[in-house]
Amino acid sequence: MKQIKSFVLVAFAIVTSFMFSVPADIVSAQSASLSIAPRKDYVTDPGETIKDTLLIRNLDETDDLELTLRVVDFTYTEDGGTPKLFLDPDAAQTTWSLKPFLKVPNSVKVPVKGTKSVPITLSVPEGQGAGSFYSAIIYSTGAPGGGNVGLSASGVTLVFSQVPGKVNENLQLKKLGAYDAIAALADDDDGYRFLNFLEPLNIGYTLKNSGNVVEAPVGTIKLQHMFGQETSITNINPTKSLALIGQTRTFTACIKLKSQEVDFSGEKSEATNCVPPGLWPGHYNVSIEAYYGQNGNNTQEVIGTASFWYLPPWFLFLIAVLLLIIAFYVWKIKRSLDRRKRRAGVKFNKSRGRK
């Protein structure tokens, strides 16, 4: 029962931290009593050993925090940013597993309102081929002998290591267009909208990673209105989110992005959110120029186009009123012409009668 409770807390923490995919050096993932780095990234040559530390903060003001550490593999969940953890101790090792190379302590105790530096060692063996390798470090409340399992303090650090060399890089564009992030939460909705009655805040693009390395695309998206006005999105992946090996992932970019500084538990960081971009009603063409590539390999490019309509209710109402006005004047003109024809016919008949 204690393990189940810890795993539930772990799942909650990973959903919170990884969906936003914030780099480790910007903000810490936090639960009720635990503050950790959500992600660590390394570049490791074959035969190289890297020694690093994980900084863990105990936010609890009354109790020490006892944690059990464990390295597990993970994969993707559908096309989103939430990873699927392989929590079963007998789970088969993935082809991209970092478990054989990563060593962490079995447990750690963090004092009240204190900070603990936990040593980790990453060793890549000689002869290891190039590619991306990744696993997750799970922090569970409670020491191996029991401990304070009642605390709501569990979390995950995702660890990525790139081994340099010639790799297979292959991102393919599957979808592009106006994107409704809220609608995409439904199981049967991919979020893409060709016809938009509400002003779209996001442009989405779905990429399939068929290579053997994780990829973080960068680039530009352009929106062109039917009358020529252009809007550019210069940072299409502001959170540096990743397409994992074998994953088909949907990325979203705000058409207009607003940044502001927030204070969370004494730590200041920059938060971004989408704001209404002020689009004109009408038809839009969308084009994307995305780039990706690991160090030492040629930069690859993804290019694609799509389109959508933005037709707000007030605009449709205005069009309907204009059409009614036009129809009314067409009817009046036609009626006037018919009267003239009838008058002309009467005069003609009268003139023939006189003859």
In 3-state terms, the chain is what percent helix, strand and coil (to 5)? 20, 40, 40
Q: What is the pLDDT, as a whole number, of residue 105?
A: 94
Answer with the residue of higher pLDDT: 165 or 81.
165
Residue 185 CA from chain centroid, whole number: 13
Q: What is the pLDDT, as a whole number, of residue 21?
A: 40
The pLDDT of residue 8 is above 60: no
Instruction: Tell me how far CA of residue 6 lies from CA of 69, 243, 326, in angstroms.
Output: 12, 28, 68
Q: What is the pLDDT, as a whole number, of residue 16?
A: 36
Q: Do 2-163 and 171-314 fold alike per CATH? A: yes
What type of residue is 244?
L
Closest CA to 186 of 78, 66, 265: 78
156: β partners: 138
Q: What is the pLDDT, as a whole number, of residue 232?
A: 95
The pLDDT of residue 14 is above 60: no
Residues counted in the chain: 355
Q: Which class in CATH covers the domain with range 2-163? A: mainly beta
CB 167 within 8 A of CB 213: yes
> pLDDT, tens digit, for every residue of 208-249?
999 999 999 999 999 999 999 999 999 999 888 999 999 999
**Domain ranges (residues) in the chain:** 2-163, 171-314
* Of the listed ranges 22-31, 57-66, 92-101, 251-260, the one predicted with least confidence: 22-31
Q: What is the pLDDT, as a whole number, of residue 338?
A: 84
Q: What is the pLDDT, as a whole number, of residue 297?
A: 72
Say how far apart CA 295 and CA 150 lie, in whole Å.
45
Q: What is the pLDDT, as a whole number, of residue 77?
A: 79
Say how far apart CA 34 and CA 151 lie, in whole Å.
10
Instruction: Tell me how far CA of residue 237 lies from CA of 3, 38, 83, 290, in angstroms.
Output: 36, 18, 18, 10
pLDDT tier, 19 (very low <50, low <70, confident <90, very high otherwise):
very low
Answer with the residue of higher pLDDT: 84 or 272.
84
Average per-residue pLDDT in the chain? Answer: 83
Q: What is the pLDDT, as a whole number, of residue 169?
A: 93
Q: What is the pLDDT, as a whole number, of residue 350?
A: 61
* Percent of the chain predicted with pLDDT > 90: 58
pLDDT tier, 28 (very low <50, low <70, confident <90, very high otherwise):
very low
The pLDDT of residue 15 is above 70: no
Beta-carbon contacts of 324 under 8 Å, excluding residues fewer than 6 positions away, are none
Say how far apart CA 262 and CA 260 lie, in whole Å.
6
CATH number for the domain whose boundaries are 171-314: 2.60.40
Q: What is the pLDDT, as a whole number, of residue 148?
A: 38
One DSSP character per residue, 130-178 reads SEEEEEEEEEEES-TT---TTS---EEEEEEEEE-S-----EEEEEEEE
The pLDDT of residue 23 is above 50: no
Q: What is the pLDDT, as a whole number, of residue 151?
A: 36
Best mean pLDDT range from 7-11, 58-62, 97-101:
97-101
Q: What is the pLDDT, as a whole number, of residue 323?
A: 96
Q: What is the reported pTM?
A: 0.75
Q: How many CA atoms lie within 13 A of 203 on its CB side?
A: 31
Answer with the residue of higher pLDDT: 240 or 305.
305
Answer with the residue of higher pLDDT: 140 or 24.
140
The pLDDT of residue 310 is above 90: yes
